[in-house]
Amino acid sequence: MERLLDPAVDFPDHFVRLEKAFKALNTVYTFCSARKSMATTFEVLKGSVENLIKRPLEMHDIAQIKSLLPELVSFAYIDSDVLRVHTSAAASPSTESDPRAAKREKRQRELDEAYRTAGAREEGREGEGKKSGETVLLFSFNDGELKSPSGAGKIINKKFSCATFSTETMTSLINKRNLKFRSAVSDLLVACSSHNPPLDPVELLLEATEENLPVHPDELLTEEDMRSRGVRERKDELEFRERNPDLRPSMRSVVEEMARDQDLYKNQIVDDGHRTFEARQAVYGELNHEISQGLADALLNTKNIRPDHLYSHQAAAINALHPSPEHPRGQNVIISTSTSSGKSLIYQLPVVQALEADPDTTALYVFPTKALAQDQKRALGELVGGVEGLEDVKIATFDGDTPRDDRDYIRENANVIFTNPDMLHITILPQEERWRRFFRKLRFVVVDELHIYSGLFGCHVAFVMRRLRRVCAAVGNRHVRFVSCSATISNPVEHMRTIFGVDDIVLVDEDGSPCGQKEYLVWNPPYIDDLDPKQGRISTIFETSRVFRFLMERGIRVIVFCRVRMQCEILMRQVRQDLMLDGRSDMAARVMSYRSGYSAQDRRRIEQEMFSGQLLGVIATTALELGIDIGSLDAVITVGFPYTLPGLRQQAGRAGRRNKDSLAMLICDPFPLDQHYARNPDLIFSSPFQQMSLDLDNPLVLEGHIQCAADEIPLHPVEDAAYFTKGDSARLRDICLERLVGDDDGFFHCHPRFKPYPARTVPIRNTEDEHYSIIDITHGRHDVVEEVETSRAIFTAYEGAVFMHMGRTFLVRGVDHDRKIAKIEEATIEWRTRQRDYTNIDPVEPLSIREVAGGATTASYGTIKIEAVVFGYFKVDKRNNILDTVEIHAPPYVRHTHGLWIEIPRTALEILLVKNFHPAGSIHAAEHAIMGLTPVFAMCAEGDVRTECKNPEKELSSVTTTRKRPARLILYDTAGKSGGICAKVFDHVSACSLSPYPTGVASHICSGANTIVSKLGALIVLDAILGRPIDVDSIPMQDAPKGVTPGGPGATIDLAAAGVSRDVIRAAQAQAAGGAGGRGRGTR
* Contact present, 613 and 800 (Cβ < 8 Å): no
**pLDDT at site 1084:** 42
**pLDDT at site 657:** 60
Higher per-residue pLDDT: 997 or 538: 538
C-alpha distance from residue 107 to each of 93, 101, 119 (Å): 17, 10, 19
Distance CA 644, CA 709 (A): 34
* Contact present, 29 and 73 (Cβ < 8 Å): no
**pLDDT at site 37:** 55
What's the whole-model pTM score?
A: 0.75
**Helix, coil or strand: residue 479:** coil
> Considering the domain 247-258+515-686 in this protein, what is its CATH number?
3.40.50.300
End-to-end CA distance of the chain: 22
User: 1046 pLDDT band (50/70/90 cuts)?
Assistant: low
Same fold, 247-258+515-686 and 284-508: yes
The 10s digit of each residue's pLDDT in 143-162 is 755 544 433 333 333 333 44
* Element at 121 (helix H, strand E): helix 99-122
**Helix, coil or strand: residue 31:** helix
Tell whether the model's pLDDT for residue 174 goes beyond 80: yes
The 10s digit of each residue's pLDDT in 825-853 is 998 887 889 888 888 899 999 999 988 87
Q: What DSSP string runs through 338-361?
A: -TTSSTHHHHHHHHHHHHHH-TT-
Q: Crossing angle for the helix pair 370-385 and 344-357, nearest 10 degrees?
A: 50
Query: How many whole angstroms from its chain centre is CA 738?
Result: 44
**pLDDT at site 121:** 45
Homologous superfamily in CATH for domain 284-508: P-loop containing nucleotide triphosphate hydrolases (3.40.50.300)
The 10s digit of each residue's pLDDT in 490-519 is 889 999 999 999 989 999 999 998 888 999
Distance CA 802, CA 822 (A): 12
Question: Rounded mean pLDDT of 534-546?
Answer: 88
User: 791 pLDDT band (50/70/90 cuts)?
Assistant: confident
Domain ranges for the chain, please list them: 13-194, 247-258+515-686, 284-508, 699-761, 771-829, 836-1074
C-alpha distance from residue 402 to each of 238, 382, 397, 398 (Å): 40, 21, 7, 6
Residue 538 per-residue DSSP state: P
Question: Rounded mean pLDDT of 585-613?
Answer: 82
Tell whether the model's pLDDT for residue 176 goes beyond 60: yes
Of 293-297, 582-586, 775-779, the least confident: 582-586
**pLDDT at site 1049:** 66
**pLDDT at site 490:** 83
User: 920 pLDDT band (50/70/90 cuts)?
Assistant: confident
Distance CA 462, CA 725 (A): 12
Tell whether the model's pLDDT for residue 959 goes beyond 80: no
Question: Rounded mean pLDDT of 609-618?
Answer: 83
**pLDDT at site 222:** 56
**Helix, coil or strand: residue 541:** helix
Average pLDDT, the chain: 83
Of 228-237, 440-449, 723-732, 880-889, the least confident: 228-237
Share of the chain above pLDDT 90, in %: 40
Share of the chain above pLDDT 70, in %: 85
* Contact present, 897 and 171 (Cβ < 8 Å): no
Higher per-residue pLDDT: 326 or 91: 326
Residue 659 per-residue DSSP state: S
**pLDDT at site 94:** 41
**pLDDT at site 2:** 44
Question: Rounded mean pLDDT of 538-563?
Answer: 92
**Helix, coil or strand: residue 578:** helix
Q: What DSSP string runs through 1015-1044?
A: HHHHHHHHHHHTT----GGGSPPP-PPTT-
Residues facing 865 on adjacent strands: 842, 896
Q: Is the preceding peptide bond at 197 cis, omega within 30 degrees of 0? A: yes
One-letter amino acid of 79: D
User: 658 pLDDT band (50/70/90 cuts)?
Assistant: low
**pLDDT at site 342:** 85
User: How many C-beta atoms surround the C-beta of residue 1028 within 10 A?
Assistant: 12
**pLDDT at site 127:** 38
**pLDDT at site 737:** 95
**pLDDT at site 156:** 34
The 10s digit of each residue's pLDDT in 277-320 is 998 899 999 999 999 999 999 999 998 899 889 999 999 999 99
**pLDDT at site 162:** 42
User: 999 pLDDT band (50/70/90 cuts)?
Assistant: low
**pLDDT at site 904:** 92
800 dihedral zone (left: phi>0; alpha: psi -120 to 50; beta)? left
**pLDDT at site 333:** 96
